[in-house]
Structure 1
């Protein structure tokens, strides 16, 4: 029994991601989150960026699903 059923290769080394490489993606995700939160939660009435009810009607059911009144 010279052979084992389990391979004896070393596990691959995990290299950490530097903060400078991660920062642009974190900023992008934060801005995208704020834009989506605005459109789902605030885009209606006096604070609307777009005229009419089009954006509100597109997102209406999603607003209630996420707990917005």
Structure 2
């Protein structure tokens, strides 16, 4: 009687690691930008209130209170 070999499916990831790391980098940059626009009140900026003034209109556009 011949030997029956079992066939195992080849498992490959649904998403490549390069796409995964690119997506994680994009999400990190977007979260940083959301923090700077919504919550930073000049604490990160070393040039005085320049960052606050730069993001001021973005806060009003998004409805985030800043006054």
Superposed CA RMSD in Å reads 1.8
Name structure 2 gaps, 5 residues minimum. 1-13
Distance (whole Å) between structure 1 residues aligned to residue 16 and residue 64 of structure 2: 35
The match for 2:15 among 11, 18, 37 is 18
Is it true that 1:41 corresponds to 2:38 in the alignment?
yes
Distance (whole Å) between structure 2 residues aligned to residue 50 and residue 59 of structure 1: 11
Name structure 1 gaps, 5 residues minimum. 1-16
Runs of 4+ in 1 over 3 A off after TM superposition: none
Query: Following TM superposition, by how much is the alpha carbon of 1:60 offset from its aligned partner in structure 2, in angstroms?
Result: 0.6
Q: How many residues align?
A: 51
If the length of structure 2 is used for normalisation, what is the TM-score? Answer: 0.63
